[in-house]
Chains A and B, each alone.
Chain A
């Protein structure tokens, strides 16, 4: 009798051990139904935030906007389709298979946001490089006049010429970084060019106050 009870206990233990592993780790059909859509939602939210940031930025070129938003739209559409599949899945096996597929998709496309950001930053870098060239030409032309009209400002003019040479060098470096799509370098050079061009304007304003306003 004792041995019979023992046998029943062992059978119960084995059945429980075979059916419990997923439940014991909290991985059930319900938990998948609850967690998977929220993970996908988080991904869609990130995509939408980036899309809005790109679309509302007036400095990004139309071509780049179109290209990057289209890439993000494609990923978003796939994630929305997975959400529908999860809702339709009726068994744990189905939902487990979906989980694996979604995980693989995330791993494969995890850098899609980074790639779009790289494209956007390169676009802005190229535009800043072009604007820098324009700025250099404008300042060079102004210097020709200032040398004649404001000869007493020779020291400041010389300083501007030095800054202008630095600006040209930074502009060339930025163009190279844009070609290489080196986001960190592009951002760093854009910062340097902005700071230098602001210093240049300060020197020009100095000459303006000291000389230009006093001209007849």
Chain B
């Protein structure tokens, strides 16, 4: 009789311990009284598990590191010889413009007084 009661208590305690452990593992908590509008735990979990809409997935091809560059100036890494030469010409043109601005600035003498 006593052994039966003891076994019964052990089973109840073990079951309780198991339930408490499972509860902690799932990070469940009781909602606050004011938090009744919040989505249920299961709804959040379901949403996290649901597959994303392909339209909102990031593109498979990585973007160029410098996003400030105008698209027309982007050069693909697989550019042809013609594209490379075109790119070099653009660099030479920019360098020419830099020289032009410099020559203009140097032509003004700041020691001029009325």
Contacts and interface: CB of A to CB of B under 8 A. Distances in A.
Interface residues of B, number: 38
Interface in A116-158: 117-118, 120-121, 124-125, 127-128, 131-132, 134-135, 137-142, 144-146, 148-149
Contacts of B91: 135, 138-139, 142, 200-201, 204
B79 interface: yes
Interface in A96-123: 106, 109-114, 117-118, 120-121
Contacts of A142: 75, 84, 87-88, 91
B70 to A, nearest CB: 9
Contacts of A50: 112
A127 B101 CA distance: 7
Given A46-B114, A128-B102, A128-B105, A149 B84 contact: yes
A47 interface: yes
Interface of A: 43, 46-47, 50, 53, 57, 59-60, 75, 106, 109-114, 117-118, 120-121, 124-125, 127-128, 131-132, 134-135, 137-142, 144-146, 148-149, 183-184, 186-187, 190-191, 193-194, 197-198, 200-201, 204-205, 208, 212, 215-216
Interface of B: 64, 66, 68-69, 73-77, 79, 81, 83-85, 87-88, 90-92, 94-95, 97-102, 104-114
